[in-house]
Amino acid sequence: MGAEASPAGWPLDDRGVAYGDGLFETVLVRDGVPCLWESHLARLARGCRVLGMPMPAKHDLERPLAQAGQGLAVLKLIVTRGSGGRGYAPPAVPAPRLRWQLSPFVPDATRWKAGVRVRHCRLRLGLQPVLAGLKHLNRLENVLARSEWSDADTAEGLLCDAEDRLVEATCMNLFWQRGGRLETPRLERCGVAGTLRAVLLERLPIAEVDAAPGVLASAEAVWLGNSVQGVWPVTRLDGAGGEALQRWTLGAVHRRLQAVAHEALGYPTRLDD
């Protein structure tokens, strides 16, 4: 399968580009079947409610799947509030616009197996409880955070909020275990509530906590995960200047959460072979 996309681009007056007035979902597709589809639909529906937009029809959201063919692909769906005049006021009659891109995808099995190096970002996420958790189109903070490093050895950057609590990585959620207890940051003030995170919260006893970055110093294991890449164990954490702060040796504890996540995504669950 080559890359496929909905035919048209965006009109000049689309509110998606004018204001980031919309939402997106990035979905792993295997043999034409979307993974964690109900979770993606639920988050999109919640976003539409918060933004005051009608939710696109499910059959419109599923239409691109017919072109996915066999194998793995990533479906990116973008829903905007549609065209609008100059000015922030939403149109009285909403006419959302849906566009999509479908791309072949190969996950990084090396990162699954050997783990990844991550660094702290300098940027702090602003607190905005109204938008917290949503996968909306206002992502300049993520873009700026991801601009903080360019070396290929660093897989991700960890983000704290304006009050120095851990939140997430630039495009993945964050999990850790300390004292045998699984934890992940609460996402009620900022951050994106990932669909894989939702599944892990259902299947494992993970506590949602407020935690300073220093909590990772006492963690037995740290992971990053999302619904496309699966779960990467963290083997090295660097400071924002690139200096090594901490290292972890992969062990059985790392593989347990990873296996639960990968089972949900149809990815390999035995990664020490």
Choose one: 3-11, 29-37, 38-46, 113-121; the region binding its own copies (CB under 8 A): 3-11
Applying CB under 8 A, does 12 fall inside the site for its own copies? yes
Applying CB under 8 A, does 251 fall inside the site for its own copies? no
Cβ-contact 134, 50 below 8 angstroms: yes
Strand pairing of 230-238 and 166-169?
unpaired
The amino acid present at 67, given as its one-letter code, is Q
E-only strand ranges, 65-169: 72-80, 97-104, 116-125, 154-161, 166-169
Applying CB under 8 A, does 55 fall inside the site for its own copies? no
Kindly tell me which of 12 and 252 has the beta carbon lying closer to its own copies: 12
Kindly tell me which of 66 and 140 has the beta carbon lying closer to its own copies: 140
Q: Between the CA of residue 210 and those of 122, 131, 168, 215, what are the distances in Å?
A: 19, 18, 12, 10
Applying CB under 8 A, does 46 fall inside the site for its own copies? no
Binding-residue pattern over the window 64 to 93 for its own copies, x denoting contact by CB under 8 A:
----------x-x-x-xx----xxxxx-x-
Kindly tell me which of 189 and 236 has the beta carbon lying closer to its own copies: 189
Taking the complex as a whole, the smallest distance from the CB of residue 217 to its own copies amounts, in Å, to 27
Residue 151's SS3 state is coil
Kindly tell me which of 44 and 257 has the beta carbon lying closer to its own copies: 44
State the Cα–Cα distance between residues 84 and 14, nearest whole angstrom. 6
Query: 188, 154, 152, 187: which is closest to 173 by C-alpha?
Result: 187
Binding-residue pattern over the window 149 to 188 for its own copies, x denoting contact by CB under 8 A:
-x-----------x-------xx-----------------
State the Cα–Cα distance between residues 258 and 224, nearest whole angstrom. 10
* Residue from 25, 80, 156, 168 carrying the catalytic annotation: 168
Binding residue for its own copies (CB under 8 A) from 63, 108, 110, 138? 138
Applying CB under 8 A, does 235 fall inside the site for its own copies? no
Cβ-contact 189, 245 below 8 angstroms: no
Q: What are phi and psi of 182, to 5 degrees?
A: -85, 135
Whether 135 is catalytic is yes
Binding residue for its own copies (CB under 8 A) from 52, 180, 205, 241? 52
- Binding to its own copies (CB under 8 A) within 198-227 occurs at none
Cβ-contact 11, 83 below 8 angstroms: yes
Query: 133, 126, 99: which is closest to 7 by C-alpha?
Result: 99
Q: Which residue has the tokens 């783990």?
A: 115
Q: Which residues in this chain contact its own copies in the complex, by CB under 8 A?
A: 5-6, 8-22, 24, 26, 51-52, 74, 76, 78, 80-81, 86-90, 92, 99, 101, 103, 123, 126-128, 130-131, 136-147, 150, 162, 170-171, 190
Hey, which residues are catalytic here?
A: 26, 135, 168
